[in-house]
Chain A
Amino acid sequence: MNDYEYSDQFHIISTLVEDKPGVLQKVSSLFTRRGFNIESITVGKSEVPDLSRMVIIVNGNRKVLEQVIKQLNKLIDVVKVKDLNPKHSVARELCLIKVKSEDEKSKLEILQYVDIFRAKVIDICDNSLIIEVTGDVGKINALISLLNSHGIEKIARTGSTAMSRGNY
């Protein structure tokens, strides 16, 4: 269901916004008010001083998308809005998973998954591990579903951030 790369309904919007209090609230309330579902939203400093980059994964049809981009552009604190084409951009999410590992057998199996998915074990204790995995949403979902049989205690996901390739 999170596979936005393969669906017309999901869009990646990358925005440059002024690094000021209240901007995140303005952007997120705009989405709520216009009935546009946010799948995830990430914010952090950008390459430009005093500007943050916000990457928003949204769910909705083209017409609503167009309206939301226009409404975002109307916000004074929003400097630039770009609808990233999934074909010409890369998106990555980071996820931490705390999974039970009651015995050696299960621990070994989990470590195999970690290896195959090029994830990392970043903490280990008697009966659980914390795994860090980065990748597109599909990959993370696949790992989560494999680990489910071992018993997942906690999941923390950042939501996707994204960037256009080359000169796109």
Chain B
Amino acid sequence: MKGGEAIIKSLKEQGVDTIFGYPGGQTIPFYDMLYDSDLKHILVRHEQGAVHAAEGYARASGKVGVCVATSGPGATNLVTGITDAFMDSTPIVAITGQVPVNLIGNDAFQEADIIGITMPVTKHSYQVKAADQIPSIIKSSFEIANTGRPGPVLIDVPKNAQVGELKEYIDDLISTPGYKPTIKGNIKQVKKAAKLIKMAKKPMILAGGGVIISGASNELNTLSKLINAPVMTTLMGKGCIPEDQDNCLGMLGMHGREVSNLSVNKCDLLIAIGCRFSDRTTGKLDEFLPNSKVIHIDIDPAEIGKNVDVDVPIVGDAKNVLSSLVKQLKGFESNNDSKQWYDGRISIKNSFLPRVSYDTTPIMPQQVLKEINSALTSDTIVTADVGLNQMWAAHFYNTTKPRNFITSGGLGTMGYGFPAAIGAKVAKPENPVLAIVGDGGFLMVNQELATIKEYDIPVIIAILNNRKLGMVYQWQNLLFDGRLSETDMGNTPDFVKLAESYGIEGQRITEPGESEIAINKALKDNESIVLDIVIKKNEFLPMVPPGAAVDDILGEFKHESDANNGDGD
């Protein structure tokens, strides 16, 4: 067996059915061996598409996503996606070709020190020296990528290792004495947490992506209802609890929901689960949680106490810790104060329902999201790109199941949404997939339309087209005296014709109501479609300015009740 064949065998043994990649000089031997194998390979149109698709695959399925690129430029084109996966704890394995071992360090053609380049943004990396090492390295990479706090692992495979003969196929895990993730929460800490909970009069929960990764949605919901703690989520936590359910207040932070932002600083106990208190979530730290005790549950000890001081830290897997916490609270009877608090938050939430109904043209983005909401079923996976489109999606799209909302959180990678949707659809072919993107981000990756056409991967692409780099445009308007430097996209292409040139249906949408009809049709036909939705260009969400406290909101939220009172614009 040759090294390349060992890669394929090892991947299959890890349960991999599909990989995303792009060949090049130093991966020709691997691709030659792939030619005879039944491992499915999706040829993307840019390596960045491969790594984001692998991320989308991983986020939708919980399995490790795999991407392959050649040495040098192929490998460096993966760097953004690898960093994205690192920030968002997404398990991927990136396999890169490398020049033969005897040429490494000679500045050979298409040589790049990809191990060195990615060192700060990978959970771990391996360079294969000889074919014999491949089975162990691949098995260990999958183990590391998808245990503890998940993350990207890079395997650099020099050409000689791809063609080298294995003496024997040995896939023992490589010993990693320094890697022992803590899964089970310390019972003493859990008891301390239970004690704080029993004293709390205004408890709240902040749930992050860790809840989704750990599959702790049921435990979270049980705890929330048991102790009268309404749940706020981070962007990464969106969907960990059904957003149409009473106890879910919605996202907290710079672009958070009104009720969450105005409530958080009033609580007397915050239970943070699987989140890392990013600056986009907390706002100004000095004014965050002035009167509150904090319980922080996370699998990564380095996240605890990093940004917010914690009263009870619990290191462990969210599902494990939450179920033992619920056990500790057996027989717990909530007090009247917390009941009042809980009901109060829910009634504020319901009276603050954001306004989504508008019949004006150009179409209001809120109205588009309303139509997307009513067209989609709960099993639809929605990906969002980065920028205003993402915030509208996060704000107005009701996610009701974990893993059904996928976006680039920590790194904020424009161009993520569409290729991630491809990966999600490959992972979950039975679920409809819709990508909400902006015109700017979509232009960074539109070449992947060729990929979905080639492999018949039906994805609905909803471009919220405001002909602007909307998020920066918003900041310029609100915070930079309206000096609109380089955020007008000027001559955007005709997205309908662009789609058609790839053999995909395109449709321009200019009137309220049309989006819903178009999405319904695409869902029924199970076909890809590009919807160029022309939206109002200067419509902004209220936001917390950078450096301000989380309840210090710039702009005013409009409520759905206003629409019914005829208070339109």
**B116 x A67 contact (CB < 8 A):** no
* B195 CB within 8 Å of chain A: no
* A105 CB within 8 Å of chain B: no
* A25 CB within 8 Å of chain B: yes
Q: Mark A63-89, 1 if CB is under 8 A from B, else 0.
A: 000110011011111111000000000
Question: Closest residue of chain A to B177, judged by CB?
Answer: A79
Q: Which residues of B contact A76 (CB under 8 A)?
A: 123-124, 144, 176, 178-179
* A157 CB within 8 Å of chain B: no
Q: Which residues of A contact B532 (CB under 8 A)?
A: none
Segment at the interface with A among B298-306, B331-339, B380-388: B298-306
CA distance A71 to B306 in the complex (A): 11
CA distance A66 to B309 in the complex (A): 13
**A25 x B178 contact (CB < 8 A):** no
Question: Closest residue of chain B to A75, judged by CB?
Answer: B178
Question: Closest residue of chain A to B301, judged by CB?
Answer: A70
Q: Which residues of A contact B120 (CB under 8 A)?
A: 29-30, 33
CA distance A18 to B120 in the complex (A): 18
* A49 CB within 8 Å of chain B: no
* A166 CB within 8 Å of chain B: no
> Main SS of chain A's interface residues?
helix
Asked, given contacts A76-B179, A77-B178, A80-B178, whether A26 binds B119 with beta carbons under 8 Å apart, the answer is: yes
**A78 x B302 contact (CB < 8 A):** no
* B450 CB within 8 Å of chain A: no
> Looking at the complex, which one of B123, B124, B306 makes contact with A67 (CB distance below 8 Å)?
B306
CA distance A18 to B176 in the complex (A): 9
CA distance A67 to B306 in the complex (A): 7
Q: Which residues of A contact B177 (CB under 8 A)?
A: 18, 79
Q: Which residues of A contact B163 (CB under 8 A)?
A: none
Q: Which residues of A contact B176 (CB under 8 A)?
A: 76
**A66 x B115 contact (CB < 8 A):** no
**B306 x A25 contact (CB < 8 A):** no
Q: Mark B384-399, 1 if CB is under 8 A from A, else 0.
A: 0000000000000000
Min CB distance A75 to B, Å, is 7
- B91-127 with Cβ < 8 A to chain A: 115-116, 119-120, 123-124
Among B116, B124, B178, residue most surrounded by chain A Cβ atoms (within 10 Å):
B178
Q: Which residues of B contact A75 (CB under 8 A)?
A: 178
Q: Which residues of B contact A80 (CB under 8 A)?
A: 178
Among A74, A79, A80, residue most surrounded by chain B Cβ atoms (within 10 Å):
A74
Min CB distance B558 to A, Å, is 41
**B305 x A78 contact (CB < 8 A):** no
CA distance A66 to B120 in the complex (A): 19
Min CB distance A112 to B, Å, is 49
Q: Mark B171-195, 1 if CB is under 8 A from A, else 0.
A: 0000011110000000000000000
Asked, given contacts A67-B306, A78-B178, A79-B178, whether A73 binds B115 with beta carbons under 8 Å apart, the answer is: no
Asked, given contacts A25-B116, A33-B120, A74-B300, whether A66 binds B178 with beta carbons under 8 Å apart, the answer is: no
Q: Which residues of B contact A26 (CB under 8 A)?
A: 119
Min CB distance A89 to B, Å, is 22
Min CB distance B57 to A, Å, is 24
Q: Which residues of B contact A79 (CB under 8 A)?
A: 177-178
Min CB distance A33 to B, Å, is 6
Question: Closest residue of chain B to A68, judged by CB?
Answer: B302
**B119 x A29 contact (CB < 8 A):** yes
- A29-84 with Cβ < 8 A to chain B: 29-30, 33, 66-67, 70-71, 73-80
**A71 x B119 contact (CB < 8 A):** no
Min CB distance A80 to B, Å, is 7
Question: Closest residue of chain A to B303, judged by CB?
Answer: A70
Min CB distance B383 to A, Å, is 28
Q: Which residues of A contact B119 (CB under 8 A)?
A: 22, 25-26, 29
CA distance A71 to B176 in the complex (A): 16
Q: Mark A100-135, 1 if CB is under 8 A from B, else 0.
A: 000000000000000000000000000000000000
**B302 x A70 contact (CB < 8 A):** yes
CA distance A77 to B175 in the complex (A): 10
Question: Closest residue of chain A to B144, judged by CB?
Answer: A76
CA distance A17 to B144 in the complex (A): 17
Question: Closest residue of chain B to A21, judged by CB?
Answer: B127
CA distance A67 to B304 in the complex (A): 9
Asked, given contacts A79-B177, A79-B178, A80-B178, whether A73 binds B302 with beta carbons under 8 Å apart, the answer is: yes
Asked, given contacts A67-B306, A78-B178, whether A73 binds B123 with beta carbons under 8 Å apart, the answer is: no
Question: Closest residue of chain B to A15, judged by CB?
Answer: B178
Question: Closest residue of chain B to A74, judged by CB?
Answer: B302
Q: Which residues of A contact B124 (CB under 8 A)?
A: 76
Question: Closest residue of chain B to A16, judged by CB?
Answer: B178
**B178 x A18 contact (CB < 8 A):** yes
Q: Which residues of B contact A77 (CB under 8 A)?
A: 178
Question: Closest residue of chain B to A79, judged by CB?
Answer: B178
Question: Closest residue of chain A to B307, judged by CB?
Answer: A67
Min CB distance A15 to B, Å, is 9
CA distance A18 to B126 in the complex (A): 14
CA distance A75 to B179 in the complex (A): 8
Question: Closest residue of chain B to A18, judged by CB?
Answer: B178
**A22 x B178 contact (CB < 8 A):** no
Question: Closest residue of chain A to B304, judged by CB?
Answer: A70
CA distance A33 to B119 in the complex (A): 12
Min CB distance A64 to B, Å, is 10
**B178 x A71 contact (CB < 8 A):** no
**B305 x A66 contact (CB < 8 A):** yes
- A1-38 with Cβ < 8 A to chain B: 17-18, 22, 25-26, 29-30, 33
CA distance A30 to B119 in the complex (A): 10
**B115 x A22 contact (CB < 8 A):** yes
Min CB distance A52 to B, Å, is 12
A-B contact pairs, 9 of them (CB 8 A): A17-B178, A29-B119, A66-B305, A73-B302, A76-B178, A77-B178, A78-B178, A79-B178, A80-B178
Extra contacts, 12 of them, besides A22-B116, A77-B178 (Cβ < 8 A), are A18-B177, A22-B119, A29-B119, A66-B305, A67-B306, A70-B301, A70-B302, A70-B306, A73-B301, A74-B300, A76-B124, A79-B177
Binding site for A on B (CB under 8 A): 115-116, 119-120, 123-124, 144, 176-179, 300-302, 305-306
The 9 A-B pairs of least Cβ separation, nearest first, read: A70-B302, A79-B178, A76-B124, A76-B179, A78-B178, A79-B177, A70-B301, A71-B302, A76-B176
